[in-house]
């Protein structure tokens, strides 16, 4: 079944809520006054035009509709083909000059400072930068105070997250290095997959990590 065009979906949503175009005009006026910006105002004539054409509302008017229709702002953006989940992928595809340091570069910058200043390594970011996770962990062991644990399906810039242990990151060698070095700081599972129902993937990830650690401790 073909989805309705964005304008018709907006009209259908308003109709189902039992809200008239004049109601929208009144409610949006209150938002505009509260924000001190007339761009949030949605007139009766403007809404009628939007609902009957392929015009795209401004972000201010979408904000007002989000508030009035009780719909997530990101879901309204999706109606018009704008998926914020892809933003990170596009940012990686358009790299900036070297402004983001690797974990090892951060370590080199802070190793002469107070011992309370250390490094948090995100193993996904580090892997995407084609760094050696195990070797970097060895070099930073005395200043490594936190780790964001995850797994990816590749080392490409558009790599997708997967349950830990099912991707391409060297999870077992990395865990083995942490055990052998006596790492006792934070290790946080950062599971960014299946955001509407992340628990099964999180459970699978934690189960893999615990199983791997138990096997190492029994040897």
Average pLDDT per block of 10 residues along the chain, 219 residues long: 82 92 94 94 92 90 94 89 78 62 88 91 88 94 94 85 94 94 92 87 94 85
How many domains, the chain?
2
**Residue 52 shares a structural domain with residue 119:** no
* Same domain, residue pair 140 and 58: no
- Residues 82, 14, single domain; the answer is yes
- 121 and 61 within one domain: no
Residue 115 lies in a domain: yes
Segment 76-82 long-range contacts (CB within 8 Å, at least 24 positions apart): 79/6, 79/9, 79/10, 80/6, 80/56
Amino acid 83: pLDDT: 84
The reported pLDDT for the residue numbered 55 is 87
pLDDT digits (tens, 9 = 90+) for 8-45: 999 999 999 999 999 999 999 999 999 999 999 999 99
For residues 212 and 179, membership in a common domain is answered with yes
Is 93 a member of any domain? no
- Determine the pLDDT at residue 102: 83
Q: How far apart are CA 98 and CA 87, in angstroms?
A: 19
**Do 29 and 75 lie in a common domain?**
yes
Instruction: Check residue 3 and give its pLDDT.
Output: 76
The CATH code of the domain that includes 50 is: 1.10.260.40
Q: Which of 53, 86, 119 is the last residue of a domain?
A: 86
In a shared domain, residues 69 and 108: no
Pair (27, 124) in one structural domain: no
Domain that holds residue 155: 103-217
Residue 94 lies in a domain: no
Same domain for 111 and 188, yes or no, is yes
Query: Are 119 and 199 part of one and the same domain?
Result: yes
Q: Which of 52, 86, 120 is the last residue of a domain?
A: 86
Residues 168 and 208 in one domain: yes
* Cβ partners under 8 Å of residue 196, min gap 6: none
Question: What pLDDT does residue 69 have?
Answer: 93
């Amino acid at each position: 079944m073909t989805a309705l065009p964005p304008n018709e979906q907006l009209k259908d949503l308003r109709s189902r809520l039992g809200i008239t175009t004049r109601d929208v005009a009144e409610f949006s006026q209150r938002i505009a006054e509260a924000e001190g910006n007339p761009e949030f105002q949605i007139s009766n004539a403007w809404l009628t035009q939007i609902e009957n054409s392929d015009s795209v509302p401004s972000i201010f008017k979408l904000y007002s509709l989000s508030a009035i229709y009780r719909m997530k702002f990101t879901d309204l953006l999706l109606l018009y083909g704008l998926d914020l989940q892809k933003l990170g992928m596009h940012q990686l595809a358009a790299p900036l000059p070297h402004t983001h340091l690797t974990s090892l570069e951060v370590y080199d910058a802070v190793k002469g400072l107070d011992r309370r200043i250390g490094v948090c390594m995100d193993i996904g970011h580090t892997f995407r930068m084609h760094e050696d996770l195990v070797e970097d962990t060895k070099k930073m062991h005395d200043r490594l105070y936190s780790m964001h644990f995850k797994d990816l399906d590749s080392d490409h810039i558009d790599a997708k997250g997967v349950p830990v242990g099912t991707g391409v990151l060297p999870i077992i060698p990395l865990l083995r290095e942490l055990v052998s070095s006596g790492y006792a700081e934070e290790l946080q599972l950062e599971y960014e997959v299946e955001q509407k129902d992340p628990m099964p993937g999180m459970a699978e990830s934690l189960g893999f990590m615990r199983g791997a650690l138990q096997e190492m401790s029994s040897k």
